[in-house]
Structure 1
Amino acid sequence: MHADNAVLGSIGRKRVCLALSTVNGSVLHETIRTYDAQVVNGVSAALTTFQRDLGISALPRRSAFSVPGLVRGDAISITKTSWFLSRSGLKAMLGEPPLVLNDFAAEAWALCAAEGQVREAFSGSNGSPAKRSGTFLVMGITSGLGVAAVHRSETGVVTVLPTEAGHGAFAAATPELTDLAASLSLGRQPVTAEGLVSAPGLLAIYNALSRQRGCLPRAKSPEEITRSMATDPIAHAACDLLAKAFWAQAGSLVMTLGAWDGLLVAGAVAHAILPSLRKPEAQALFANSIKYRRALSDVPRSLVSYENAELVGLGEALRHRWGHA
């Protein structure tokens, strides 16, 4: 093992994925190991198991980890778990301070390392920042709504801006979406973007539509809704509404973050509702601004996928941090 290797770790709510990287940040795919978060008792225990499974005498001193939620302070809480990731604890265990990123920021870094697989080009050319300069927006629709901005300078210097924009207010761009948001808020706090544009959001939309139509909901999970799009009219309508909500929010965030050079869409839910995302009436809400309609219409937009995105992104972030760019 080279002295400049690093250990990479994606710490999730349900699983922990660990790997080693090369000197230049590339993931050594043969070292990838995945552990059930219910079985391993914390990050340190997962690292000890990883070292034993690889049969190596010591782990690399350098490390990078991604976690869901806000990454601040020494002890970082892993969202919706009882786990904490301790920067000082990892430094004591491995020898150097770890790089810790928000999980979706790590995915955004992955786009700087590779083009990924473009499944659908909604508008213009592929907006990937892997080889182009500019400012890009990356959005992922999963169990939450991940949002990050990526800027690549003319000289190739990359900056990834992690955000918690999914927890910001939803941009209701039409009366239909305004009524939907109002029906979900029920007089409480305003609906967040993630409250609509996510897997739980899809289920909430589906249940709201079922109530409006006086029907008992047939689907009980987001997966059941997307699987029944072709046979359940309410499921079809829910996916269409989620697509409209997504494009409206995406257009608002492009203007907010100045990401005029491309939008990258990722996440299992986005892939599952692709037929709805393709619809012109949904995509029209991306350029809903009167003042910036032309500029928004020119923003390249693509649906992308890439394997082991968080690990790839962590390796790329480390590469830039240590001056191997």
Structure 2
Amino acid sequence: MVAKPWHLLADIGGTNARFALGDVGSGEIHIPLTVSVLDHPTFMSALQMYLSFVEDSGDWEKRPVDGCLAVACPTDREHVTFTNSDWVIDRENLGFSLEIPRLKIINDFEAIGYAAASFAVNDWEQIGGGESRPDKALTVLGPGTGLGVCGVLPTTTGVNVLPGEGGHVDFAPVGKEETEIMRLLLSRYSRVSAERLLSGTGLQNIYWALTQLHGEPQRHATPADISASALVGDDPVAVEALAVFCRVLGSVAGNLALTFGSLGGVYVAGGIAPRILEFLRGSDFRERFLAKGRFREYLEDIPTRIVVRNDPGLFGALKFLQSRHS
């Protein structure tokens, strides 16, 4: 059997690193592998393990023809340092040392932007709004370990993805309860960004603040415990925390839709939203998305879509590489 050429794909967040390969011939994604960042002292350790894993399969060429690393941090420096982990990638030496001459490093939400432009209808679940307009900009945001944001602009030859660090804009509270949460979080942080509420740690922050406001004990220590308790309804403070999370998510999504003019739709990716999908449907998420005063009507037809595809970062890394070969 002749070994087949392949693209190296990676989606690297603060908690997990996901690897896969893209078949150059068919465009299909194969051999996915997820590893915990904490289980590997360096990125190179995790990557070398995956390259050996592919080589041992015997079906693929020893080295990929190119690669795309989608990373959860800014990518405009020689030494790529992660916001939510201790990993560092040496951009200059990585491709050379691995014998991968065309190795690209992009922001993880830039990758999801490329994915969103090619999503099929079963890749998302819609909450409100009408049809997307394919000739107009779309927005992607995603709470997970952090809060990622990007804009996507269609062109006659594909799409332009505008990566950024929109998760770190100032949090703007709406109403008395969020103002009180903001006040309490300012006692912990010198500045409160959107990510301080819209992330796993953000859900913990909201829950902590509400226990302080209500004089209740903290019954849950992790974001997973808080959301699990909220979904079954056995802790009223956890239910309220998740409801606040959904409201703030709607507000930030609406702000981004106005910023980008996202008549092509707003996609909510990341690890949290798909797991709370039904709670999100019943929350004030969509109402807060629309609650922009004179621009409510402008937003009403914009669809808000929860990404349920399990590999959007890897799919986006593949789409990025394919766009460079088209």
* TM-score (ref. length: structure 2): 0.87
Alpha-carbon separation, structure 2, partners of 1:281 and 1:307: 25
SS in 2 for 1:267: coil
- Does residue 86 of the first structure (1) align with residue 90 of the second (2)? yes
Counterpart code for 1:133: D
What does residue 317 of structure 2 align with? 314
Gaps of 5+ in 2: none
Aligned to 2:120: 115
**Residues 224-252 of structure 1, C-alpha deviation per residue, up to 9 Å, x if partnerless?**
11111211111111111111111111111
Opposite residue 70 of structure 2, the aligned amino acid is S
Structure having the higher helix fraction is 2
Q: Report Cα offsets for 1:40-92 as digits up to 9, x if no partner.
A: 75325335423433335520231111111111122212333332222322331
2-side partners of 1:36 and 1:246: how far apart? Answer: 27
| Structure 2: distance between partners of 1:280 and 1:33 | 34
List alignment gaps of at least 5 residues for structure 1.
none
Aligned amino acid, residue 103 of structure 2: P
**Change beyond 3 A, Cα 1:284–1:105:** same
CA RMSD between the two structures = 2.5
Partners of 2:112 and 2:25 in 1: CA distance: 18
Give the direction of change, closer, same or farther, for the CA distance of 1:174–1:279 in structure 2 (3 Å limit): farther
- Residues 178-227 of structure 1: per-residue CA shift (max 9 Å, x gap): 23212211285331001011121111111111111111111221111111
Matched, 1:100 2:105: yes
Which of residues 269, 286, 310 is equivalent to 1:266? 269
Change (3 A) 1:53 1:80: farther
Q: Equivalent residue of 2:299, what SS?
A: helix
Aligned to 1:63, the other structure's residue is in SS state strand
Query: What does residue 67 of structure 1 align with?
Result: 71
1:172–1:248 Cα contact (<8 Å) kept: no
Amino acid at match of 2:237: I
Supply the AA of the counterpart residue of 1:149: G
TM-fit CA distance, 1:36: 4.4
- Aligned to 1:223, what secondary structure does the other structure show? helix
User: How far 1:268 moved relative to its partner?
Assistant: 3.0
**Is 2:306 the counterpart of 1:303?**
yes
Aligned pairs, number: 317
Q: Is the 8 A contact 2:246 2:284 kept in 1?
A: no
Partner of 1:286: 289
* 2-structure distance, mates of 1:24, 1:13: 32
Decide whether aligned partners of structure 1 residues 73 and 136 sit closer, same or farther in structure 2, where only a CA change above 3 A counts.
same
1-structure distance, mates of 2:175, 2:26: 45
Partner residue in 2 for 1:232: 235
Letter in 1 for 2:102: P
Task: Give the Cα separation in 2 of the matches to 1:184 and 1:36.
Answer: 29
Report matched runs for 1:44-193 at 5 Å: 45-46=48-49, 48-55=51-58, 56=60, 58-92=62-96, 93-115=98-120, 117=122, 120-125=125-130, 127=132, 132-153=134-155, 155-186=156-187, 188-193=189-194
- Report if aligned partners of 1:62, 1:98 keep a CA contact under 8 Å in 2: yes
Shift of 1:9: 2.1
Name the TM-score, length of structure 1 as normaliser: 0.87
Distance 1:134 1:119, change over 3 A: closer
- Secondary structure of 2:294's partner? coil
Q: Which amino acid aligns with 1:278?
A: R
In structure 2, the CA distance between the partners of 1:84 and 1:48, relative to structure 1 (3 Å rule), is same
Distance (whole Å) between structure 2 residues aligned to residue 173 and residue 156 of structure 1: 41
Residues 126 and 302, structure 1, Cα contact 8 Å, conserved in 2: no
What's the CA shift for 1:8? 1.5
Read off the aligned partner of 1:6 and give its amino acid letter: H
1:6 aligned residue: 7
State the one-letter code of the partner of 1:114: F
The share of aligned pairs that are identical, in percent, is 28
Q: Distance in 1 between matches of 2:160 and 2:93?
A: 27
Which stretch of structure 1 is more off in the superposition, 173-182 or 190-199? 173-182
Q: Separation in 1 of the partners of 2:243 and 2:289?
A: 14
Question: Secondary structure of 1:76's partner?
Answer: strand
